[in-house]
Amino acid sequence: MSKRLQASALFYAITVVLIVGMMMSSLVLLTHFRNLSAIRWVNKQRINENCRSAAYLALGHAQDRHGVVRTDLYGDGSDSVETQVIPWGVFDLVHARAWIGDQETNALGLAGALFEMRRVLDLHRSSGPLHVCGDARIRGNVRIPQADVRRGHIEGKPFTGDQPVEGDVMRAANEQLRLRTDLEQEVEEGCRGAYLGELLPIESGPDRTIRSSHEGLQDGVLSMRFSGPTHLSGYRIHGPMVIQCNDTLFIDATNELHLVIIQAPFIRVGSGARFSAQCFASAGIHLEAEAELRFPSVLAIWHDSRSSTAARIRLDSGSVVEGAVIAVDRSVRNRDQASILIEPGATVLGEVFAEGAVQHSGTVKGVIHANELILRTASSMYRGYLMDGVIERFDLGKPWGVSCTGNGIERTILEWEPSKAQREES
């Protein structure tokens, strides 16, 4: 009987030892895997922070465009990053990659600049005083050649406000209005249909949905090209991507576009359209009623001395541009035409720049740089007149955008694009 008890006790002891051993082994393995998971999670957060730090570092240094720069953030060999700055219209794309061991992440940022807000209106060639008429309002500092702003009365509409300018009036220096040098080249090339980089032509699928992967930007940017008058409809495009057309391009309200460059001689954005894009044209741009170009968007035309026809940007009533409207007019013809026409009810949040004249009857929250303001009616044309237009300070946070003149330029990332892994996680 005692032997049976001893054998049973031995069996139970071995069983208990095995169970305890298995539990201890499981706890050790679980602890090890939790430590590994914690380390990988910490590394993931670290490389995410390194990636964005590298992007801002590339902005702060004079890094060559297109070239890939590899470095270590802190010089100890454990925070490897590489960056690439790619010209993207009037902005820059900053691609950054960071890695630790077998873990890596990519980040793509759209870089812009802080534009000057010391003045809301800056005229360079106005030959006389500026007259404000009707419901026109100027809220901010003004700089014009004669430092003279007066109440005006035209077409039966006298000035209805208390004072012509709610701010300081300064005399403009005797200087030519020009875009900053690097921006001038980008606008000219963009409006002539050129792209400063490698393009990878593609065709869209039957659902007309295109999503670019920014992990391969060093190989080039996706592009689509159309011939003849083109009606763009039903596309869902999330760039970076370039759309080119050799004739008039009409973009209706069924399109969903983001991070896209559009190049065509004439671009018309249909009523009710809402997207974000940079539009470059040589013959003109027309934003129809209730169309909205969301931040950061750009409308730009380049009218050189070889052109015999007028080119202008027209914003119809109810249309909105969040970003910049740029018109460069180097021609000697059509000087009585406005390079930028802002209709009553149209709004620009950001910058208006015209090497030519602006006819403004809408609302600009930001700054207008122009040679002069004009007013064209059914019977005549008047120089140095602002009728019903409102110009006031940008009040939506820091004025980030293009910085057309380049004064006091400060650069930052305007928006971050989610990586492929982040899109899959979401």
**In a shared domain, residues 101 and 150:** no
Query: Which has the higher per-residue pLDDT, 82 or 398?
Result: 82
Same domain, 420 and 308: no
Report the share of the chain in percent with pLDDT over 90: 39
Nearest to 367 by CA among 345, 347, 389, 394: 394
Residue 300 and residue 407 in one domain: yes
Q: Are residues 347 and 387 in the same domain?
A: yes
Q: Examine the domain organization and report whether 153 and 250 are in the same domain.
A: yes
Residue 16: helix, strand or coil by DSSP?
helix
Both 188 and 69 in one domain: the answer is no
Do 337 and 363 touch, CB atoms closer than 8 A?
no
85 and 234 belong to one structural domain: no
Of 248, 260, 324, 256, nearest in space to 286 by CA? 248
Cis, peptide link before residue 240, omega less than 30° from 0: yes
User: Is 50 exceeded by the pLDDT of residue 342?
Assistant: yes
| Chain centroid offset of residue 397 CA | 16
In the chain the first and final C-alpha atoms are separated, in Å, by: 68
Q: In whole angstroms, give the CA distance from residue 346 to residue 165.
A: 21
Q: How far apart are CA 36 and CA 142, in angstroms?
A: 62
**Same domain (yes/no): 94, 179:** no
Q: What percent of the chain has pLDDT over 70?
A: 88
Amino acid at 188: E
How confident is the prediction for the chain on average, in pLDDT?
85
Question: Tell me: the pLDDT tens digits for 180-221?
Answer: 888 888 999 999 988 877 788 887 666 677 777 666 566 778
pLDDT higher than 80, residue 242: yes
359 pLDDT exceeds 70? yes
Q: Are residues 135 and 19 part of one domain?
A: no
Q: Is the peptide bond before 399 cis (omega within 30 degrees of 0)?
A: no
Is 284 in contact with 311 (CB distance < 8 Å)?
yes
pLDDT at 367 over 50: yes
Does 69 share its domain with 127? Answer: no
For residue 17, the tally of other CB atoms under 10 A from its CB is 10
Q: Which helix (H) or strand (E) holds 258?
A: strand 256-263
Domain that holds residue 409: 121-413
Structure token digits, residue 309: 């026809």
Residues 285 and 334 in one domain: yes
Q: What is the pLDDT of residue 1?
A: 47
Strand partners, 137: 390
The burial class, CB within 10 Å (0-12 / 13-18 / 19+), for 336 is exposed
**Contact criterion met (CB below 8 Å) for 220 and 198:** yes
The pLDDT tens digits for 306-339 are: 665 677 899 999 999 999 999 998 776 656 677 8
Q: How many domains does the chain divide into?
A: 2
Note the pLDDT of residue 6: 63
6 with 133, same domain: the answer is no
* Residue 37 or 302, more confident: 302
Contact 120, 392 (CB under 8 A): yes
